Structure 1
């Protein structure tokens, strides 16, 4: 009886803290929209502030886990196996160039910071992956959907999401296996590939049957069915030692070509938006506040290095596809913001206590910097290009054409 009363008190306190978190999110988000700032960065800051008033509760942690699951499901739902196959060459080539330009610097920085192999790989993923949420929203807000570089920005984002989903599955699988060796890595890759292949084959061979199964008029039953598919897929992935997020991503891929795709998106989006906001708050609350300030200098350095590598990588991709210099540079600037996947990777594994820099705190600084300044750079890309790049090129050209006096 005493245990039941104590548990009820914990639940009541958790519900109250959740309510406070939500109202704080609303006011902070409202102010952020007025100054056109990234909600991702604002929600993390809200979490960092709230940790001074109450601890991270079990309910908040559970909703944050659902946030990852719903986030990855919505990513999967945006893809189409057919369109991926049709555009595979452009997606693969653009994505591989982006990977080669941006994954190795993160790995090198992780090694310099003293991380072991697993954490160095995680950090490379944190530095490498662009925020699909921030970039996609910015493209719409800035009305750049018809721009020549936007197709290649989206190709890079698709490749990154697919790569990071597989990468996360392998990393979590290797850790669950217990140690890193050739046999363990081969087993994890085999298991991950089989899991991906099963869902892709299911999507291609049972499309008609899936359409019939999810074609339910009753709204409540429809939502319950879709939620059951998402959660069961996530649970199945977890059961075989992969990340729950991978199961959710593949569930989205499975349902992406159904006739009910848009209805599914409309039904799940409110759950996704709510739980994703709590996910960012939970991440902010988990950051070691005491060490946050000491991470700022190294965070700024990493942001500068990774921003240059993204811009150079984007410029290279644009040149390969014969885009104009301005479009190439806009492509590079569009890839700077980091966000949701960087945070998922940072929270995937508890950081080794022997490491000199705390991965969550460093990722928090890095994501805040890249989400805020990356969004600004993306928005002001044309001004920056005109002011610093094109003006310099014009001056050089005029200097070259100046006649020499003899």
Structure 2
């Protein structure tokens, strides 16, 4: 593509994504599915204005979007968050994953599209959107509700699982030939993860001293290079560029410079991630969604049922009533960035062509249903099993920050009150 054409295409993609997301925000929809919808509307498969004829023309920019998304997530994650939650939070998170991943895997096999496709569908159905969940908690003023800490703890456990799942899935999607090659690829993946995890555990202080010598300009250049290089090395090792970015974010997130890096990377994350979702939308032919409407409907119904069960289980473990169960189950109902990441990996691996439209339709439906259900959780609490709530819901919009906030607010808000995961003085002292 000529440089002028490339700039027009990229600029058009940014503007289309921003305008469509702005319109959707007026009716309370999150930006992620709207960025993707912009790619569908202004892509090669729909009539009218087409900014990008070939999705591969945005491949590098989209890859950077994925890198910055996972890098930021690594910055936000801390093992202390999980430890602080105790065994009940761990049990609630694992219960959520067993129900949703297990149900998604069973549904994937029921579709009969193939084993690799079933594994992708399990991840798509099993992992909720950290970005949308946090945004919903902030915008509904429920951050101080007693169950919100549990919701965010479940998101942390999902993030850990995603890192491991991507590492396991990568050699499978790479179509490794024979058990020996699969075992070798898995060994390389886990060795890479262990090395970076060790750096995060014992190298944070050194990283903090190194980053302290940079001014903001040079710090941006440094961590961009580090994130992109780590992603590239991970991809070459067969681990996935997403995991390389996540793990190096984990290393820097444990350093004393984490707050500076987090604030500086946020605009890069927002801008490039919009192109990642837009580029995924470019691969979707609306005509292909028709044949997968039944699988989409089945997946949506299954997800709603499983989240009702998971919300009830989590509430029971913590002694909460039906209203808290409804708040938990409905808040984690939405699917977003992680489902689209898995969908894009499936497209890159050349899996069944029905995967991409299935993921797109599934994410779009839940992105509409989820926020609407959260806003009506009091009316929907009656469908959840359990006793009546004894805790009153707190919706003080002037005091929204809990003791532990663990997921990035990907979407929309320029102030992004959900971006600081932990605000207790003890936590801050541990960081420093």
TM-score by length of 1: 0.88
Which shifted more, 309-318 or 186-195?
186-195
> Are residue 78 (structure 1) and residue 76 (structure 2) matched?
yes
> Are residue 178 (structure 1) and residue 170 (structure 2) matched?
no
| Alpha-carbon distance in 2 for matches of 1:120, 1:50 | 30
Partner of 1:64: 62
| Alpha-carbon distance in 1 for matches of 2:188, 2:309 | 35
For 1:5-404, list aligned pairs within 5 A: 9=2, 11-51=3-43, 52=46, 53=50, 54-87=52-85, 89-176=87-174, 178-179=176-177, 181=179, 183-350=180-347, 355=352, 358-385=354-381
SS in 2 for 1:178: coil
| Alpha-carbon distance in 2 for matches of 1:378, 1:354 | 34
| Alpha-carbon distance in 2 for matches of 1:196, 1:136 | 27
1:352 CA drift (Å) = 8.2
- The structure whose Rg is larger is 1
| Alpha-carbon distance in 2 for matches of 1:148, 1:179 | 49
Contact 1:47 1:281 in 2 (8 A): yes
Partner of 1:3: none
1:199 CA drift (Å) = 1.4
* More helix, by proportion: 1
Which shifted more, 320-329 or 54-63?
54-63
Deviations 1:256-313 (A, max 9, x none): 1212111101111111001111111111110122212332333122101111101211
| Alpha-carbon distance in 2 for matches of 1:217, 1:190 | 36
TM-score by length of 2: 0.83
Deviations 1:329-357 (A, max 9, x none): 211111110000001111113388895x6
Partner of 1:398: none
| Alpha-carbon distance in 1 for matches of 2:243, 2:349 | 24
In angstroms, what is the RMSD of aligned CA positions? 2.2
Contact 2:346 2:355 in 1 (8 A): no
Q: Return closer, same or farther for 1:354/1:23 CA change in 2, 3 Å cut-off.
A: closer
1:379 CA drift (Å) = 2.0
Contact 1:311 1:336 in 2 (8 A): no
Q: Return closer, same or farther for 1:119/1:256 CA change in 2, 3 Å cut-off.
A: same
Deviations 1:94-147 (A, max 9, x none): 221011111121111111211221111111110111011100111011111111
SS in 2 for 1:241: coil
| Alpha-carbon distance in 1 for matches of 2:350, 2:279 | 21
Partner of 1:402: none
Deviations 1:234-264 (A, max 9, x none): 1121121110000100011101121211110
Contact 1:134 1:339 in 2 (8 A): yes
Contact 1:174 1:184 in 2 (8 A): no
| Alpha-carbon distance in 2 for matches of 1:256, 1:352 | 31
| Alpha-carbon distance in 1 for matches of 2:134, 2:351 | 38
Deviations 1:164-188 (A, max 9, x none): 121112111234362353x344333
| Alpha-carbon distance in 1 for matches of 2:141, 2:262 | 23
| Alpha-carbon distance in 1 for matches of 2:97, 2:293 | 26
